[in-house]
Amino acid sequence: MHDFRFGFCCKYIPEDGDARAAREINTSTVTMAYLGRLDPKAAYDKLASVVAHNLEAFRLQVAHVAARPGIERLHRLSSDLLPGYTHPACWDFYRDPDLRRLIETKLADVGRFARESDVRLSMHPGQFCVIASANPSAAINGLAEFEYHVEVMALMGYGEGWHPHGAHINIHGGAKALGAEGVRGGLAHLSKTARNLITIENDEVSFGLDDLLPLVDDVALVLDLHHHWIMSRGEYIEPDDPRIARIIDSWRGVRPVSHVSVSREDLLPDQDVRALPDFNAFMDAGIKPKDLRAHSDLMWNEAINDLVMRHLAWSDFEIEAKLKNLATEGLAHYVERRQAYA
């Protein structure tokens, strides 16, 4: 039994490219503009059909992850589950007793199955969802969006205690100008359940790892290795770095989750896959930091994979590569091969 796990994010990609299978297992959405062009009954019917599809997609994704080896039983669920949930135009639709019953029943079943199958779950609202913003309207919207994710998690059975079964909802820090105190103020406006589920990751622009460390007593921190490499202009953080111990402490006894990805395969075509990419080499080649943010298709760099292996002593990892489950499976196979020959 492995004591670590990898997970893919939100979308499943069939290895054989079967478009029908992809549609069945992945969430879909509908825009508020489209619903607004329909009469109320047609709009409700459309929204309800999308929600029913998405609930089934959640079930299928968790079932897929549950059938994978233990090393892969971590999964990030899509935010698209309930389109327009925080939008005033949809409030009455989501109050409909039949739709509400469907949502509550199906989510309870998904959560129960995930726990029985030892699948660790997370969510990650879009980057506009921040709890600290200099714009009061953005802050209000961000808090509402976050609480929507909290409600989804609670309906799945993750509403009690500190990161129950390792569950978490991860966001970025928000406006850098507000600093750690701004984030701390945003946390105060969240429900107790939200404060028990929230995690915050370092990013490449506003809140680097060092900017978030003052919050270790307030919120669990997620280390993103790729963001840190870009923000620090080339540092690869190792497990014995004293900052890692502070991240671990921020989780208060729950095993942390970290993120990893690699810059696109085609940026430095001559890069040795067994050597860590050199940030300065990218700069010398005229590649800008913003270009480095784009994620690769697969975890192609063996040296970064080895770095991840060193961090497995303390953290699980969500793999933020474009080919989703295919990249995660590839990394899992890589780690198992390396361990077999160790």
Q: Which CATH number does the domain housing residue 208 bear? A: 3.20.20.150
Q: Max Cα separation, the chain?
A: 64
The confidence score (pLDDT) of residue 135 equals 85
Q: What is the pLDDT of residues 134-180, one digit of tens each?
A: 888 888 899 999 999 999 999 999 999 999 999 999 999 988 888 99
The confidence score (pLDDT) of residue 2 equals 58
- For residue 252, being part of any structural domain is answered with yes
The confidence score (pLDDT) of residue 1 equals 38
Write out the two tokens for 108. 């309870």
Nearest to 225 by CA among 304, 332, 321: 304
The confidence score (pLDDT) of residue 32 equals 96
- For residue 1, being part of any structural domain is answered with no
Domain assignment of residue 337, given as a range:
6-341
Q: What is the pLDDT along the chain (342 residues), one digit of tens a residue?
A: 358 999 999 999 999 999 999 999 999 999 999 999 999 999 999 999 999 999 999 999 999 999 999 999 999 999 999 999 999 999 999 999 999 999 999 999 999 999 999 999 999 998 888 888 888 888 889 999 999 999 999 999 999 999 999 999 999 998 888 899 999 999 999 999 999 999 999 999 999 999 999 999 999 999 999 999 999 999 999 999 999 999 999 999 999 999 999 999 998 788 999 999 999 999 999 999 999 999 999 999 999 999 999 999 999 999 999 999 999 999 999 999 999 987
Number of independent structural domains in the chain? 1
**163 CB-contact burial (10 Å; exposed 0-12 / middle 13-18 / buried 19+):** buried
- For residue 137, being part of any structural domain is answered with yes
Q: What is the pLDDT of residues 229-252, one digit of tens each?
A: 999 999 999 999 999 999 999 999
pTM of whole model > 0.75?
A: yes
